[in-house]
Amino acid sequence: MSASHADGVRPSYAVVLRVPHARRTFAAALVGRLSYGIVPLSLMLAVTRSSGSYPVAGTVMALFGATVVFLSPARAALIDRYGPRRALVPMAAACTTVLGLLAAAVSRPDAVSALSLGALAAVAGACAPPLGPTMRAVWGRLTPDRALLRRAYSLDGVAEELLFVTGPLLVGVLVGFAPPAAGIVVGAALMAGGTAGFVSSPAVRDVRPEKAAGRRGGGGLRGLGRPVVAIAGVGLALGVIDLLVVAFAERHTAGTGAGGAGAAWVLAALSAGSAVGGLLNGAVAWRTPAGARLPLLTAGLGLTLCGAGLAPGLGTLAVAVAAAGFFVSPAITTAYLIADETAAPEARVRAGAWVNTAVNAGSTAGTAVAGALAARLPVGVCFAVTGAVVLATATAVTAMRRRGTSEPVPLA
């Protein structure tokens, strides 16, 4: 029983932040994670300005994004094996160094080849410290009570979403008086400072690698099939929504030039709905286990997306998308909880990284699929098709839970 329950204190967000060392550790992790909201846009703008080529900028960003996302489990494996302090510091040092080289390279137009820019971006992404999965593993140590841990994960998820909204806004302010390369430097500084503060926290400083018990298969990752499949579906939906909202706004504001502003408001409604849903999910004392909630939340997302396909205008689409967002953060938080519950102690960072990779990979695939669909079908039909796919994912996850046949994720 946690201290909060033993003392008769109901778990809450305030209680989470009063856990010893929680505020310091969380704040440092957020500072470092803010760099992930700043660096990508800054890099895209800087490469575009330096090369004068959108294809070059797109290729550089694809290489950066691919190594960040798909090598995340491998970097998390190093943290599980060597501990946060021994693994995160070299990663952050290497990443910030390469980001500095990138900033210098894009500051000199035509001085560096596109191939060199792509190679530097790929290396920077490969070294990016996975502060999100590591912080969630630390939450598991700080808050062993499951109700309190759910609130901690909800708070973490909402804060992370706000960082990805705040980061591009800060870049927009920065490029008003400085070149885009300055954003890369700022992002690197945030990464270095946040990582240093994180690993120096007592909650992280004394963490030692867990030794494998030798009793589990799948490298300690058995049971991750359900959360990974479900969250890949959620990520797919997010990637589709981003593009379809833009297409919907352009088609409904043709000739007015208001498509961009309309799309921005609808996507803001998505983020707002997700934040509200995440906070409520953490505040509710759920009696239903996480394994049963996950397919229900995924199905809720699918149903609301089907409803979004019936929206006649931007206002109703914003309401429908906000309702869809209401299920996004709770689903992701629940997937992280299941990953933490099923993973062996020596694989907790990897478990969180696999969930994180699933949502990002799903989002990337969703954007590609949405582009193909939107060119051939009405936007409303595209929303309905996406909702149907997410519902099918929820059905598959339910079947996996009933059979108890979640396969282990391969060892990274």
pLDDT tens-digit readout, 160-187: 888 888 888 888 888 888 888 999 999 9
Span 8-13, average pLDDT: 64
Closest among 121, 182, 157 to 234, alpha carbons compared: 157
Residue 8 above 80 pLDDT?
no
Single-letter amino acid, residue 179: P
Half-sphere exposure in the Cβ direction for 285 (13 Å, CA)? 5
**Residue 26 pLDDT grade (very low, low, confident, very high; cuts 50, 70, 90):** very high
What is the pLDDT, as a whole number, of residue 401? 77
Give whole-number Cα distances, 351 to 78, 155, 342, 387, in Å: 13, 19, 9, 27
**Using alpha carbons only, what angle is made at residue 280 by residues 278 and 286, rounded to the nearest 5 degrees?**
105
Structural contact between residues 111 and 51, judged by C-beta atoms closer than 8 angstroms: no
* Coil, strand or helix at 178: coil
Look up residue 102 and give its two tokens. 């990138």
Give the single-character DSSP code of 258.
-
What span, in angstroms and rounded, lies between the C-alpha atoms of 348 and 407? 17
Q: Highest mean pLDDT: which of 68-72, 80-84, 95-99, 342-346?
A: 95-99
**Residue 412 pLDDT grade (very low, low, confident, very high; cuts 50, 70, 90):** very low
Closest among 383, 339, 388, 377 to 359, alpha carbons compared: 339
Look up residue 305 and give its two tokens. 């997306």
What span, in angstroms and rounded, lies between the C-alpha atoms of 373 and 303? 19
Closest among 78, 29, 83 to 197, alpha carbons compared: 29
The reported pTM is 0.83
Closest among 76, 61, 158, 37 to 117, alpha carbons compared: 61
Give the single-character DSSP code of 220.
G
What span, in angstroms and rounded, lies between the C-alpha atoms of 379 and 249? 10
